[in-house]
Amino acid sequence: MKAWIFPGQGAQRIGMGEALFAAFPDQTAAADAVLGFSIADLCLAGPMERLTETANTQPALYVVNALAYLRQLNEVGTPPDVLMGHSVSEYVALFAAGVVGFEDGLRLVARRGALMGEARGGGMAAVLGLDAAQVEEVIQRHGLTDVFAANYNTPRQIVVSGRRAAVEAAEPLFLEAGASHYRVLTVGGAFHTPFMQPARDAFAPFIADVPLAPPRIPVLSNVTARPHADDPESIRARMIDQITAPVRWSDSIRYLLAKGVTFADVTEIGPDGPPVVKPMVKRTELEAGALSADELAREDAPPAPVEPPKPPEPAPVRSAGPGVSVERLGSRAFREAFGVRHPYVSGAMYRGIASVDVVVRMARAGMLSFFGTGGLSIDQVRAAITAIRAAIPAGAAFGVNVLAHVNRPQLEEDMVDLLLEQGVRVAEASAFMEVTPALVRYRARGLVDAGGGRVEARNRIMAKVSRPDVAAQFLSPAPERVVERLVAQGTLSADEAALLRHVPMADAITVEADSGGHTDQRMPFALVPAVLRERDRAQARFPRFGPLHLGAGGGIGTPEAVAAAFMLGADYVLTGSINQCTVEAATSDAVKDMLAGMNVHDTAYAPSGAMFELGSRVQVLKKGLFFPSRAEKLVSLYHRHERLEDIEPALSRQIQDKYLRRSFADILSDLKDSLPADEAERAERMPKHRMALVFRRYFQDTSHWAITGDLARRVDFQVHCGPALGAFNQWVAGTDLEDWKARHVDGIAERLLDETAALLGRRFSALVGA
């Protein structure tokens, strides 16, 4: 009697499936279509931090294990007598048994992984040396209501799961009871416990629509440790139960042993490498042996799984003072309008540094995040939107950045076309000094007459501004001259034009104080109140439209800064620089190492590569870098000379050899082939414009070198960053967040909000006492 078994979470490794993806191109392409990203890239290139996220690990293991099964079947020609998969890999066993199709199984696993990946505050630990009765006795004797036995892997290797703090605190109790080892696992959820009830509830309607068939090969259930029934509805119920029920792997092995399966009859199928679950067969055989005849008799009538015990009552609302809790920070209306849990937003960072991973992580945590589109092609942004949608729960909030292009408005139009094509409902408008036709089109396409004089905007705009007069434009209807021109061009209908007159251009205004990247270096204590008054006046003009929201960004990196923003009247806060130094940010480890070591005073203002002719400036990291001074030198030369040939020969050689590491002629030759026709013509007849284009290449390259981590050009890295990150580094010094490899965008958000509530509680208590 042959048994094929599949390993679950923990078996993943970089490089897994390398030979399988090429061997099964149709299934690999189907997996990519379901997931919205390349499964081969994830498994072969990682990085490991991404592969080990539950939402990615589970579908990756499903695909690799399923393809490994197909390879095994091709090689041996005969299917096994019984199948078994550990936890998530039970879905692989069901696929192998013909219960579910490959793509439907992957959809189920991707949804399961996404839901389980949303769990926060949980933990798991492996207990070695105690049997099931002893583990459960420790839990009972010490009243560990937040800890449950979750995985019975072998008779004396049991994983406990629950609230992370409770799991960590339980270590001495299990060691005192005789455990030989107690190892806390690197997971963030209390898997296979009642704490996963929200995931179970959300998964049930999803699996209800997926067709299942009777198994062609017996599959052992993790829940009952007995074969699944032939009834598909019973299988469906057990797979829902599996999310909260413990994994009875040891009992499943003992069942196989009782049926005559030996260690030699078991084949582990999964990622190439050392076996993970087959050794558990030998351990179980040595420690407990097969089920007895009485135990095996339960096969004919396996017990229905006991309804999982209800988790303990939720902890009281987090509060650290009179009337202060995380739930009461900021604006409830903002949370409801944008469909988020917290009044906290992570803003866009150019060239996709505010990456797919950043947006997905925040969306799964119930917070709004914007993908950074600056410097990316339309195809790159389209691919990012597809990947985000595939990885987040249906209806989860996310947004995409629309960057102003003063000299190339067609780039704005192209981005808006993409957002409308993709149905992206939230846009962050950045660096706009006035409302442009592209933004008006985006706004108009989402307007709906709700009756009774009310107009609803389905396409929401969050405008990032640093001047009250610009805020006033976004808090007003679309400019009439722009609307009339778009109607005359046939771009807007008369009905859309009429609706535009009844709504402001933006739903939310983010007041951007001194920040990383483009900045006007404004003080929030002057700027926020001024824009707040503009918002209040606009609200009075549009009483039927709904609340208009105001947020604060720039300098937000500590609980004190967040508290100050909310006390000034902000409905939400927006963070930027601190998110650049996280696992999810799409910049190099070299940059993250530098950022993790910076202080508040380690930034400088440098010319903007995009608009240095206009005097625009960006805030960048200066510690250990030549970029700020070299950028200033280039702009100084641009203002002093009319053409490249006028620069002093020795200085010209220095710039080409040290700054650009290329000749002016080489750069001009490259530009000739890549510039639009009108731009090429302008460069041909205007020597000063040619000089601007050559110097701009330095700005472009310095960003590229930083993002890719080109250590040969380390001193020239251009890293946009504000002092908020320096303040954040000082705040987390000596804590688990000191190392950037432990920083995750959602974890930072939760920590900041928790500590802000605690801080305000202490301050209010002090005021009351005074």
The residues that bridge with 455 in the sheet, in sequence order, are: 449
Pair of tokens at residue 84: 């078994």
Pair of tokens at residue 334: 């903002």
What is the four-CA torsion angle of 549, 555, 560, 563, rounded to 10 degrees?
0
- Segments in 556-620 forming alpha helices (H): 559-568, 589-596
* Greatest Cα pair distance in the chain: 97
Pair of tokens at residue 108: 């189920």
Pair of tokens at residue 583: 């696992």
Are 443 and 505 in contact by the 8 Å Cβ rule? The answer is: yes
Are 431 and 402 in contact by the 8 Å Cβ rule? The answer is: no
Q: Which of 89, 161, 192, 325 is catalytic?
A: 192
- 87 labelled catalytic: yes
Query: Taking Cα atoms as reference points, which of 302, 220, 301 lies closest to residue 257?
Result: 220
- Would you list the DSSP string of 280-346? HHHHHHHHT-SPPHHHHGGGGSPPPPPPPPPPPPPPPPPEEETTEEGGGSS-HHHHHHHT-SSSEEE
- Mapped onto helix, strand or coil, the DSSP state of residue 726 is helix
Q: What is the spatial distance between Cα 106 and Cα 63, in angstroms, rounded to a whole number?
A: 7
Q: What is the spatial distance between Cα 510 and Cα 50, in angstroms, rounded to a whole number?
A: 30
CA-atom Rg of the chain in angstroms: 29
**Dihedral-angle region of residue 162 (phi above 0 means left; psi in -120 to 50 means alpha; beta otherwise):** left
CA angle 114, 61, 151 (to 5 degrees): 75
Contact partners, residue 413, CB within 8 Å, separation at least 6: 437, 438, 441
- Report the residue count for the chain: 770
Q: Which of 87, 221, 430, 703 is catalytic?
A: 87
Pair of tokens at residue 80: 């096994």
Query: Taking Cα atoms as reference points, which of 589, 585, 602 lies closest to residue 354?
Result: 585
Active site residue ranges: 87, 192
